[in-house]
Amino acid sequence: MATLISHSAEETLALGEQWGRAAQSGWIVGLSGELGAGKTQLVKGIARGLGLTCHVLSPTFALVHEYPGGRLPLAHLDLYRLDSPEQILGAGLHQYLWHPSGVTVVEWIERWPDWRKQMTEPGRGRARSVRLLSLGESERQIDYEDFGD
């Protein structure tokens, strides 16, 4: 597991942009962290790194925002309001979680039980688990680990 310290929202955005430039089709990024930890800021950077120029918003109430265009399409999911695998399936989110057509970023990934196990199945592609922790008003600890193909 790697650990980075971001000292500002701009640094978190730049990290996401770096990850977006390196992203490949089928990549899933799972984000966890408290409200205000910088999850959406990181997604904005990933979108920028994919060459997307649209305004990225948290999909808390919509559950998913799709951003076509750019080098790869981005699906931005938020599982905050979902409490069970049945609700995730019932919301129609499985297509983004099992067969992403571009890059899928999921906020509150911990609400998808056994996601790491499912992501490490042979042929599933690459995934990144990210935990953001607020250290102060603008400082964040970002722990991440890659797994899968």
How far is 37 from 29, CA to CA, in rounded Å? Answer: 16
Q: Which two tokens stand for residue 113?
A: 């039980």
Q: Which two tokens stand for residue 54?
A: 């649209």
Residue linked to tokens 């990934």 = 109
For residue 19, what pLDDT is reported?
A: 98
| pLDDT category of residue 59 using cuts at 50, 70 and 90 | confident
pTM above 0.85, yes or no: yes
Tens of pLDDT, residue by residue over 72-117, are 999 999 999 888 878 887 888 878 887 788 999 999 998 887 777 7
Average of per-residue pLDDT across 113-140: 83
Is residue 46 in some structural domain?
A: yes
Is residue 105 in some structural domain?
A: yes
Is residue 149 in some structural domain?
A: no
Is residue 96 in some structural domain?
A: yes
87: domain CATH number? Answer: 3.40.50.300
